[in-house]
């Protein structure tokens, strides 16, 4: 299938808006050809995942775009970087890596990207309208954007995301096409207890299970009677995108496309989820088995919302911690913490506030052989063993806080299944 470009797109690729924009347009058009798209479509916004330092090449790529005069042509927020530029947390990143990471972050803001530095831009005011085409990176942001907001994006990888933002174009393929957003499989949760579905511990577990069940297929979840709320949907999508390649899910009667079009959908397969399946999925989130201590607690992947920070504060109830509790969040929530005086209060209790980044993507926690990290995040549970060297113990937020206070695992039994 041949790619058909408009005159303006050919002119940009030829250098009409400078070498940086030409480079970006050529990247987008080459990607479109590889993906089999026959045209490019305009986008309304982008979320850029490519500003997290993984090596010098990423920095040099961004700086080459800057040197070519590239500027984003649509609203573009930035995912986490490798440094906490707010000064909340101490990053154990030496030179030359620290300098290159800072240069990379500076290059993306020089191109006009917003210095949001959060993996939850949708909770920081970046919420594209239903049905609009966007180009978002960061797996949890992609799945939330598609599923909860009903905007349309593929899972855009590093470098292609910024190229789309500069060119204001994306390949017309994948989840940009309505026909590719129709569910092929139904995942039925009706056999699970309502009390379990109402708990915060449930949704990362269910997301992890869902991702393994469907892979990259589009599914619709049935048997959910009550809207889980935005933070639970955030947690579900993040875990599903980590364990599978999920870019879009529907929940019958709850997510927007399922409300608007669900009556016309018929899936070819139904998977009935049992309590035993959920218990197994929950146990898989822990790599530490019956530890007698924990060394740290980490929350906030995706970044903690203001509501989640309130829940953390309530669970702490003014008690001092025995081990560090890392609360990863974005600048939008950090501003609220500081304006309300809560940051000082939390830090006095032993909470380590982390902004602009998180403990799994950059070295913040101390190096520790055989360390045990407790978390309520399905995404942290998935990535932390490989990225930090810590074993993981998955639990609810309340269990995490109780354990951080005592220094020992405190579990109420919900961990073993509904």
**Residue 331: which of 309, 356, 306, 308 has the closest Cα?**
356
HSE (CB half, 13 Å, CA atoms) of 212? 15
pLDDT digits (tens, 9 = 90+) for 291-313: 999 999 999 999 999 999 999 99
The radius of gyration of the chain's CA atoms, rounded to the nearest angstrom, is 22
- Which of 21, 19, 20, 39 minimizes the C-alpha distance to 29? 39
CB 167 within 8 A of CB 21: yes
Assign 415 a pLDDT band (cuts: 50, 70, 90). very low
Closest CA to 45 of 140, 122, 159: 122
Instruction: Give the pLDDT confidence score for residue 262 in this predicted structure.
Output: 66
pLDDT for the residue 418: 41
CATH architecture of 296-411: 2-Layer Sandwich (3.30)
Q: Is the pLDDT of residue 275 over 80?
A: yes
Structure tokens belonging to residue 78: 């930035």
CATH architecture of 7-176: 2-Layer Sandwich (3.30)
**pLDDT tens readout for residues 132-151:** 999 999 999 999 999 999 99
Q: Check if the beta carbon of residue 161 is closer than 8 Å to that of residue 47.
A: yes
pLDDT at 384 over 70: yes
CA 178 remoteness from chain centre: 23
pLDDT value for 413: 57
190 vs 197: CA distance, rounded Å: 10
pLDDT of residue 7: 97
Residue-wise pLDDT tens digits, 116-126: 999 999 999 99
Strand partners for 325: 297, 351
Listed as own residue / partner, the contacts of 16-21 with beta carbons closer than 8 Å and 24 or more positions apart are 17/69, 18/68, 18/69, 18/70, 19/67, 19/68, 19/69, 20/64, 20/65, 20/66, 20/67, 20/68, 20/69, 20/70, 20/71, 20/166, 21/68, 21/69, 21/70, 21/71, 21/166, 21/167
Contact 303, 380 (CB under 8 A): no
Residue 309: predicted pLDDT: 98
Q: What's the rounded mean pLDDT across residues 246-261?
A: 94
Predicted pLDDT at 405: 98
Encoded tokens for 25: 């347009």
How confident is the model over 317-369, as pLDDT tens digits? 999 999 999 999 999 999 999 999 999 999 999 999 999 999 999 999 999 98
pLDDT at 195: 95
Cα distance between residue 183 and residue 262, in whole Å? 9
Each domain of the chain, given as residue ranges in start order, spans 7-176, 182-284, 296-411
Instruction: Please measure the distance between the N-terminal and C-terminal CA atoms of the chain and give it in whole angstroms.
Output: 50
pLDDT exceeds 90 at position 417: no
| Reported confidence tier of residue 268, pLDDT bands at 50, 70, 90 | confident
pLDDT at 414 over 50: no
Summarize the confidence of residues 35-40 as an average pLDDT.
97
Three-state SS annotation for 62-129: HHHHHHCCCCCCCEEEECCCCCCCCCCCCCCCCCCHHHHHHHHHHHHHHCCCECCCCCCHHHCCCCCC
Q: What percent of the chain has pLDDT over 70?
A: 98
Q: Is 328 helix (H, G, I), strand (E, B) or coil?
A: strand
Same fold, 7-176 and 296-411: yes
* Residue 335 near residue 123, CB atoms below 8 Å: no
The answer on pLDDT for 1 being more than 80 is no
**Is it the case that residue 416 has pLDDT exceeding 50?**
no
Tokens of 135: 């180009």
Dihedral of the CA atoms 147, 153, 157, 163 (nearest 10)?
A: -150
Question: Has residue 273 got a pLDDT over 60?
Answer: yes
């Amino acid at each position: 299938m041949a790619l058909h470009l408009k005159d303006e797109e050919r002119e940009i690729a030829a250098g009409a808006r400078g070498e940086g924009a030409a480079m970006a347009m050529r990247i987008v058009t080459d990607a479109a050809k590889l993906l089999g798209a026959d045209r490019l479509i305009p986008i309304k916004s982008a979320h850029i995942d490519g500003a997290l330092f993984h090596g010098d090449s990423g920095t040099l790529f961004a700086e080459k775009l800057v040197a070519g005069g590239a500027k984003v042509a649509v609203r573009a927020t930035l995912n986490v970087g490798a440094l906490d530029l707010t000064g909340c947390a101490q990053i154990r990143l030496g030179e030359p890596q620290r300098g290159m990471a800072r240069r990379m972050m500076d290059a993306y803001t020089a191109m006009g990207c917003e210095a949001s530095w959060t993996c939850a831009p949708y909770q920081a005011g970046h919420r594209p309208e239903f049905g609009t085409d966007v180009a978002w990176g960061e797996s949890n942001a992609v799945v939330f954007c598609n599923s909860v907001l009903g905007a349309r994006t593929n899972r855009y990888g590093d470098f292609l995301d910024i190229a789309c933002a500069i060119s204001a174009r994306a390949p017309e393929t994948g989840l940009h096409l309505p026909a590719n957003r129709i569910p092929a499989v139904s995942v039925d949760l009706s056999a699970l207890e309502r009390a379990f579905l109402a708990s915060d511990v449930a949704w990362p577990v269910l997301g992890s299970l869902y991702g393994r069940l469907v892979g990259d297929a589009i599914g619709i979840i049935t048997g959910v009677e009550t809207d889980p709320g935005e933070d639970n949907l955030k947690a579900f999508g993040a875990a599903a995108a980590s364990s599978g390649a999920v870019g879009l899910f529907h929940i019958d009667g709850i997510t927007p496309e399922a409300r608007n079009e669900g009556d016309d959908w018929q899936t070819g397969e139904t998977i009935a989820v049992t309590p035993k399946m959920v218990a197994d999925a929950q146990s898989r989130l822990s790599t530490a088995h019956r530890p007698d201590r924990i060394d740290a607690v980490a929350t906030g992947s995706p970044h903690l919302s203001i509501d989640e920070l309130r829940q953390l504060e309530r669970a702490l109830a003014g008690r001092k911690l025995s081990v560090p509790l890392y609360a990863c969040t974005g600048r939008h929530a950090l501003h609220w913490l500081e304006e309300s005086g809560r940051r000082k209060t939390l830090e006095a209790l032993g909470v380590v506030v982390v902004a602009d980044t998180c403990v799994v993507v950059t070295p913040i926690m101390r190096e520790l052989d055989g360390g045990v990290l407790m978390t309520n995040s399905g995404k942290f549970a998935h990535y932390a063993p490989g990225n930090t060297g810590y074993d993981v113990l998955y639990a609810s937020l309340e269990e995490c806080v109780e354990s951080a206070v005592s220094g020992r695992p405190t579990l109420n039994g919900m961990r073993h299944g509904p």
